A and B are shown apart, each in its own frame.
Chain A
């Protein structure tokens, strides 16, 4: 059992709807795996089956060597969960809830360290209802990492973060990864997936379209490069497999500096959108 998560032919139906219609993938020990897909694609259903919240209708699932539908409390000690949205703990402070929750874990992290790691030092005496959306989310993350998990589930963790908080969160995830934590992340921010994930999986209509590294997803590494420049008073575009060669030709034709030159490879978002639209 080397993989943190192994999923084979996973299926889940809600009435007539096949929310998850046969998914296979593995998450390797110690990697950050991002699950991408539009709303309603089956991301949360999949992640909640892995977390032990939902029963599956078919297939096999192994999470840290156990079937999550029978997840023992010992197993729960090894996983951390950040759910999509919570409004609990409105009357208790950040510091209090973390102290209380650390009673539930066998090997909790130090509460002060956790508060510091998520950047809530100034809010440690604030009650849940006094926190902003982004601060609440950071409290959720704090509670998720409190138990020192081997495997951390993050379901849209940075919703409501300002850019600075998002960067700080990325640093936190990188630290956790460096400590050997395996992370399953869902996000709607493709730059986040690119910045954090070792591998990404794209899921739509309950099926997995592709699993790859952010750099190679959807043939991104082989995709043509877009060159844009200004010539004869208008913007010109050229898609090419050999941009260096093309630029050399262009430069000599325009005798030197190329006006308003940009050379760009497709972003992860470009690739993702074309994959999802190709499915629709």
Chain B
């Protein structure tokens, strides 16, 4: 219980620090909205009866928002904290290590919440995205989001051990996220991609996240436009869960409190 209480205190501190770093606020929260405004305004075409590209794009951006706020944010921030001594200092206190991660998760959840809210707001107000009105879709939204953010957070913690320095972390992590966005049905219609690219992207979680989000925000009959002619909810849940397990194992095995000498 104490571990959780200290975790909440960590979360409070993390969010405070996050909000005071203008770069992180702009990059993590506003950049996706800016992308949505640009792409939504440039590509006004209809990709299927009753579905515009901007609607397709909003679903994809919400999915990649989970990657941005979890994976990207943590895989960049943790190496910086390893470099500047934050982690070493914490390791020297009686703070339970789990509290550090609880704090990180709370900070991720907060920025995820704000980001999804901003994207939905811009999507519905400007680009004619329809919010689902029935319970079923919102239940889908909830489990896709929960599986997505859990996996994304764990993979971010795991990947934080890869960059050799905090300085290099951003240059290493950002391209990975961008490539995934291009190949997983965010910037391009997934069905239009070459099949080898589809196959490669299907290994990674973002493809399944975008598909899950499309099943929430696009009309039911758009399922026939998917590669598999269906939303594949079973596979979505399976693949996201698999990545949670991989992320958890890697995070537990590789996490370091100090930079390697």
Which residues of A approach B to under 8 Å, CB–CB? Answer: 14, 51-53, 73-74, 76-77, 79, 81, 83, 85-92, 96, 100-101, 103-106, 127, 143, 147
B79-87, B230-238, B247-255: which lies at the interface: B79-87
- CB of A42 to closest CB in B, whole Å: 15
Cβ contact within 8 Å between A77 and B94? yes
Q: Which residue of B has the minimal Cβ distance to A128?
A: B84
Cβ contact within 8 Å between A53 and B92? yes
Q: How many residues of B contact A (CB 8 A)?
A: 25
Residues of A near B13 (CB, < 8 A) are 92, 96, 100
Cβ contact within 8 Å between A73 and B96? yes
Given A88-B81, A105-B94, are A83 and B6 also a contact pair (CB < 8 Å)? no
| Interface residue ranges of B1-51 to A (CB < 8 Å) | 5-6, 9-10, 12-13, 16-17, 20-21
Q: Which residue of A has the minimal Cβ distance to B85?
A: A86
Measured in the bound complex, the distance between the Cα atoms of B261 and A93 in whole Å is 30
Cβ contact within 8 Å between A90 and B84? yes
- CB of B136 to closest CB in A, whole Å: 42
Cβ contact within 8 Å between B89 and A106? no
Cβ contact within 8 Å between B85 and A88? yes
B93 within 8 A of A: yes
B137 within 8 A of A: no
Given A76-B94, A104-B6, are A91 and B21 also a contact pair (CB < 8 Å)? yes
Cβ contact within 8 Å between A105 and B93? yes
Measured in the bound complex, the distance between the Cα atoms of B87 and A88 in whole Å is 9
Measured in the bound complex, the distance between the Cα atoms of B85 and A86 in whole Å is 5
Interchain CB contact (< 8 A) of B16 among A79, A90, A92, A143: A92
Residues of B near A79 (CB, < 8 A) are 92
- CB of B11 to closest CB in A, whole Å: 11
Residues of B near A81 (CB, < 8 A) are 89, 92
Q: Apart from A86-B88, A106-B94, what are 9 other A-B pairs with CB-CB below 8 Å?
A: A14-B261, A73-B96, A87-B85, A88-B86, A91-B20, A92-B16, A92-B20, A100-B9, A100-B10
B95 within 8 A of A: yes
Cβ contact within 8 Å between A147 and B94? yes
Main secondary structure of the interface of B (DSSP, over half): helix
Residues of B near A76 (CB, < 8 A) are 92-94
Q: Count CB-based A-B contacts (< 8 Å).
A: 67
- CB of B133 to closest CB in A, whole Å: 42
Cβ contact within 8 Å between B89 and A86? yes
Interface centre among B6, B84, B94, by most chain A C-beta atoms within 10 angstroms, is B94
Interface centre among A85, A91, A104, by most chain B C-beta atoms within 10 angstroms, is A104
Q: Which residue of A has the minimal Cβ distance to B90?
A: A104
Q: Which residue of A has the minimal Cβ distance to B86?
A: A88
Cβ contact within 8 Å between A103 and B6? yes
B226 within 8 A of A: no
Question: Can you show 29 pairs from A to B with CB atoms below 8 A apart?
Answer: A51-B92, A52-B92, A53-B258, A73-B94, A73-B95, A73-B96, A74-B94, A76-B93, A76-B94, A79-B92, A83-B88, A83-B89, A83-B92, A85-B85, A86-B85, A86-B86, A87-B84, A88-B85, A91-B16, A92-B13, A96-B13, A100-B12, A103-B9, A104-B95, A105-B93, A105-B94, A106-B94, A143-B89, A147-B93
Residues of A near B10 (CB, < 8 A) are 100
| Interface residue ranges of B187-232 to A (CB < 8 Å) | none
Cβ contact within 8 Å between A83 and B93? no
Measured in the bound complex, the distance between the Cα atoms of B2 and A77 in whole Å is 14
Q: Which residue of B has the minimal Cβ distance to A81?
A: B92
Residues of B near A90 (CB, < 8 A) are 84
User: Contact string, B83-115, partner A, CB cutoff 8 A, digits 1/0?
Assistant: 011101101111110010000000000000000
Residues of B near A106 (CB, < 8 A) are 94
